[in-house]
Amino acid sequence: MGGMSLPARPFRVLSIQQIALGGLDKSPLRRFWVDLLGLSPSHAYRNERENVDEDVLTLGAGAFAIEVDLMQPIDPEGRPRVHEPALNHVGLWVDDLPAAVDWLTEAGVRFTPGGIRRGASGHDVCFVHPKGNEQAPLGAEGVLVELVQAPAEVIAAFDALAAGPGSAS
């Protein structure tokens, strides 16, 4: 970080939690991801304030499942513009979201407005802004990144995997 001294990182990024894809109409996305590739629909989510009508799909299983969110704007002229870019954002499981937000804020990372809040799948989330600004000079270098609080069972599954075979659990 350019010679800046930070305290030890008090959180871990465990895995990709989701990828979010957008289009003016989510039907062609659904045709590709569900009909052709066979991903399983999980649930739908609609939020006027976030201008999103979304289908949540599942790839994989259990603690290692990854969401693929197919999003279309409720109002194509409204904001946020969930269909631009088409690969809208990447979500990452973190084991301690409040600690991550505090530490990253202290490091100069810019977050989008809204703070930590409940996301489409019921987990606490917040978003790292793609670009820094004067107040918070560090962004995610052009990519919107969602940080997602991992539930206890996901943290335990990753800890067990990291411990390797033959470890006591």
All domains of the chain, ordered by start, with CATH? 13-161 (3.10.180.10)
Q: How far apart are CA 30 and CA 26, in angstroms?
A: 6
At residue 37, the pLDDT reads 96
Residue numbers of the chain with a pLDDT score lower than 50:
1
Check residue 109 and report its DSSP letter: B
What pLDDT is attached to residue 31? 98
Both tokens of 101, joined, read 């937000």
What pLDDT sits at residue 147?
98
Digit-coded pLDDT (tens) for 14-50: 999 999 999 999 999 999 999 999 999 999 999 999 9
